[in-house]
Amino acid sequence: MNPDSLIGALLNQASGPVHTGSGTQVVFHTTSDGDLSVRRDRRVIAEAYLRWLTQRFVSPGGFGAAQSLLEEHGVTLLYGAAGTGRRSAAMMLLRPPRSTVRGITELNDTPDSPGEPILDPKTVESGDRLFLDLTRTGPHPLSVIRSRLAAYYTEIRARGAQLVVVLPADHDFTPAELRPFTVRLGRPDSTEVLQRYLRLDGQIRLRRADVRYPPLDKRLSGASMGQTAELATLIGSARQTQQGEFFAQWCDHALLATRPWTRDVSDRIARHRKGWQRALLISAAMLNGALGESVLMATQILYDVLDQPPEEHGTPLERADLSQMLAAVDAETDAHGRVRFPQLAYDRAVRFHFWTNRPDLRDSFRVWVDRVAREVTLNSDERAALMDRFAEQCLRTGRPEDLEALARSWTGPDAGRELMAVAADALERGLRSEEYAGRFRNTLYNWSTDRSITDKLRVVITGVCTGVIAHTHPHQALVRLHQLARREDLAGTAPVALDALRQQMVDPRKLRFMLGRIAYPPEGSRLWELDTRIFLELADPFRLTAPPAPLIRRPDLPDVLTAGWRAVLERDPCEQWREALGRWLHACAEGRSPELLLTVLVNAARHHPHHLQKMYTVARKWAYASPERLPIADLLLETIDLAQEQEPVG
């Protein structure tokens, strides 16, 4: 198994939602049959997503004031009504210029793992663009954050970084020192938002006057930005499926599709009294757009899961055919044999009805979706759509554990690549949820520390960390990859997570974080055998001293390197660090900050004379191999003598 290709395959197959504003906001894209499919942008706060958002963003009231505060002071705190696009506004405020590869980092509002602080000023890097969303944060974390926010901002200013905070509803939260940087956001122009989505996603180009339609205006007046985007997509879907010839007719169909369906669906289902009708209706709604035979097979599986006896009567030729059965539940097949509902978004209303009104069946629905993904012939898009629809209902009804359970099931020993891809999709759906993202990151942390997880789940977690979490919470991704890599090493399995961790180290900020994590383990943690090997690999002297701005000259890094080397010397025999020491000496011989490199080494060993002796012995043997190296050995001895006579060097 090639870990890189497998992770890439998993990430390229999964799909899901894009959040564009405050609350649960989903952007829908129209498929060829007029169904609504949900597709996710994988780099949520990365360049591709920001480009997508920039094209659709309409500035809310107060945006200019927030922009001025951020440019002048490096901070702005936003508040406003839910649905006004506060998160989108924060992203646009922090949007990096095209010339930089650095994206936006979302800060944690709760500890990532035991011993990890919230809002640690030491983690702020020069030029960072940081985002903190407090709209869903609980009372205790809010109290901690409030006490630390002013000190954190001081470091933001010192580093030339930028911070945007979306405030909770409690206006008393804001520390007095930061109140001058607070801005209230108003509502963007909903009509202009609709126009942009119509043009970009529906290829419908209309002037503002042409978009004005009284029933639509009434709906837009109270719609959130996410609901406005959904309306635009439904209008485009109505046009594509030829439900009318004019804009007003498309709007009528779209508005009808967004109305509360509860009464209508309930009345229709009440007429569908037979078990096979309801089973077929659920299957058609969950597999909308799939082939008829796939829907029938899913219906049979649902019968089996619910332990419901068959209701067919008569000989096979006397029984209703597929088209008759579908017609009985208000569905049909298109020219390609794919099942659909004539009414726009009706499939979503059916799903909403069953998950809302039959809570007693939710466990069975999870078992059913598990079996359908395994047993029914579906292509990758259909399987992903099944997962998206199930995830939507799980998260809406407060059952994130169902997605976690399926992710475990689909990464069992017998799981193939198709199931692993949909497991990754399930986890990603949870990570994209504003309400449950923190829970899913915590779940992934717990799994990453569990030695009993399967290798396939380890591969999936690795892919999700690098493909999703790394772009929004980079330090959290590193922590989980680190935990996975430790257990891979202990088990002697393929180093999938370790290789992924290495690839993350091209970013100097992530490199410094990992060096610090190993040098100063979180409270209650311990060093593993792999940790010192990783440290010696990451603490490459040529990378640390590379121009134009050598990392080793950062004020905090020499102390980190000293602590890391001290752990290596105390834990590992000389044979395991001799080669790394030789590389450090080679860097010194090439003029790569020799005084600073040697000071780090000596301070690491200064309280243990036998370590100093071993280090100097290795250096003398290294120097004797070539006469031009002798000055470095002599400089090491001078540094040792000075360290023993004075306070710690550096």
146 within domain boundaries: yes
Whether the Cβ atoms of residue 424 and residue 10 lie closer than 8 Å to each other? yes
Q: How confident is the model at residue 640 (pLDDT cuts 50, 70, 90)?
A: very high
Arithmetic mean of pLDDT, 617-641: 94
CA 514 vs CA 285, 560, 600: distances in Å: 47, 10, 18
Q: What is the CATH classification number for the domain harbouring 120? A: 3.40.50
Please report which confidence band the pLDDT of residue 239 belongs to, taking 50, 70 and 90 as the band edges.
confident
User: Bridge-partner residues for 37, per DSSP?
Assistant: 29
Integer CA distances (angstroms), 250 to 31, 213, 215, 494, 588, in order: 16, 11, 12, 54, 72
> How far apart (Å, rounded) are the C-alpha atoms in residues 121 and 126?
12
Q: What is the per-residue pLDDT across 54-85, written as a single tens digit (0 to 9) for each?
A: 999 999 999 999 999 999 999 999 999 988 99
Structure-token match 């069946």, residue found: 361
Note whether residue 279 is domain-resident. Answer: yes
Residue 647 above 70 pLDDT? Answer: no
- Is 159 in the same domain as 252? no
Give ∠ CA 203-209-215 in degrees, rounded to 5: 85
* Model confidence band, residue 171 (pLDDT cutoffs 50, 70, 90): low
Same domain for 85 and 222, yes or no, is no
Point out the least confidently predicted range of 234-248, 392-406, 471-485. Answer: 234-248
Report yes or no on 463 lying in a domain.
no
Domain boundary among 397, 423, 444: 397
For 432-464, how does the pLDDT look when each residue is reduced to its tens digit (9 = 90+)? 998 899 999 999 999 999 999 999 999 999 999
Tell me which residue of 201, 232, 206 sits closest to 219, measured CA to CA. Answer: 232
Instruction: Please say if the pLDDT value at position 317 is more than 80.
Output: no
Contact (CB, 8 A) for 301 and 309: no
Tell me the H-state helices in 306-345.
Answer: 322-328
Averaged pLDDT, 31-50: 44
In a domain, 124, yes or no: yes
In degrees and rounded to multiples of 5, residue 601 shows phi and psi of -65, -45
32 in a structural domain? no
Q: Are residues 246 and 336 in the same domain?
A: no
Q: Is the pLDDT of residue 146 over 60?
A: yes
DSSP, collapsed to helix, strand or coil, labels residue 551 as: helix
In a domain, 135, yes or no: yes
Mean pLDDT of 405-425: 96
3-state secondary structure of 75: strand
CB 600 within 8 A of CB 515: no
Ranking 266-270, 377-381, 568-572 by mean pLDDT, the lowest is 266-270
CB 430 within 8 A of CB 439: yes
339 and 213 fall within a common domain: no
DSSP assignment of 181-215 equals GEEE-----HHHHHHHHHHHHS-----HHHH--HH
- Banded model confidence at residue 33, pLDDT cuts 50, 70, 90: very low
Same domain, 516 and 636: yes
Q: For residue 271, what pLDDT is reported?
A: 75
Looking at the structure, do residues 149 and 221 belong to the same domain, yes or no? no
| Residue 9 is assigned to a structural domain of this protein | no
- Same-domain pairing of 193 and 117: no
> Is residue 280 domain-shared with residue 321, that is, in the same domain?
yes
- Of the residues 397, 414, 438, which one is the last residue of a structural domain? 397
Q: Which residue has the higher pLDDT, 555 or 560?
A: 560
Of 74-78, 242-246, 393-397, the one with minimum mean pLDDT is 242-246
What pLDDT does residue 433 have? 92
Q: Among 125, 4, 52, which Cα is nearest to 502's?
A: 4
Q: Average of pLDDT values for 149-155? A: 93
Mean pLDDT of 301-308: 91
| Whole-number pLDDT of residue 50 | 84
What is the number of alpha carbons within 13 Å of residue 359 lying toward its C-beta? 5
Last residue of a domain, one of 129, 157, 184: 184
User: Looking at residues 22-47, what average pLDDT do you find?
Assistant: 35
Query: Looking at residue 8, what is its pLDDT?
Result: 54
> CA–CA separation, 230 vs 348, rounded Å?
13
433 phi and psi, to 5 degrees?
-75, 125
HSE of 567 in the Cβ direction (CA atoms, 13 Å)?
A: 24
Q: How far apart are CA 275 and CA 189, in angstroms?
A: 47
* C-alpha span between 455 and 210 (Å, rounded): 57
Q: Clarify whether residues 557 and 632 are in a common domain.
A: yes
Q: Which of 190, 53, 55, 71 is nearest to 129 (CA)?
A: 71
Indicate the residue type of 38. V
Judgement on whether residues 214 and 282 belong to the same structural domain of the protein:
no
Structural domain of residue 597, as residue ranges? 509-650
Q: What is the mean pLDDT of the chain?
A: 87
Please tell me what DSSP assigns to residue 399: -
Tell me which residue of 525, 535, 517, 455 sits closest to 491, measured CA to CA: 455
Cα–Cα distance measured from residue 605 to residue 614, given in angstroms and rounded to the nearest whole number: 10
| Contact indicator for 32, 443 with CB cutoff of 8 Å | no
Comparison of pLDDT for 397 and 170, the residue scoring more:
397
pLDDT > 50? residue 123 = yes
Instruction: Identify the DSSP state of 337.
Output: S
| Distance separating alpha carbons of residues 36 and 441, to the nearest angstrom | 28
Burial class from Cβ neighbours inside 10 Å (0-12, 13-18, 19+) for residue 5 reads exposed
Q: What pLDDT shows up at residue 428?
A: 95
Tell me: do 336 and 370 sit in the same domain: yes
Report pLDDT for 320.
66
CA 411 – CA 350 distance, rounded (Å): 30
Tell me whether residue 46 is in a domain.
no
Q: Cα separation of 466 and 455, whole Å?
A: 17
Nearest to 366 by CA among 305, 427, 317: 305
Q: What does the pLDDT read at residue 167? A: 94
Q: What is the pLDDT of residue 522?
A: 81
d(CA 291, CA 628): 76
Cα Dmax for the chain:
101
pLDDT band at 650; cut points 50, 70, 90 = very low
Q: Identify whether residues 273 and 356 lie together within a single domain.
A: yes
| Residue 179 pLDDT | 93
Q: Please state, in angstroms and rounded to a whole number, the distance separating the CA atoms of residues 479 and 112.
A: 9
Look at 6-15, 63-72, 206-215 and tell me which has the smallest mean pLDDT.
6-15
Q: How many domains does the chain have?
A: 4
Q: What is the structure's pLDDT at 363?
A: 97
Residue 269 has pLDDT above 50, yes or no: yes
Q: What is the pTM of this model?
A: 0.84
Q: Is 591 left (phi over 0), alpha (psi -120 to 50) or beta?
A: left
Overall residue count recorded for the chain in this entry: 650
Q: What is the 3 state secondary structure string of 451-517?
A: CCCCHHHHHHHHHHHHHHHHHHCHHHHHHHHHHHHHHHHHHCCCCHHHHHHHHHCCCHHHHHHHHHH
Is 3's pLDDT higher than 60?
A: no
Question: 551 pLDDT band (50/70/90 cuts)?
Answer: very high
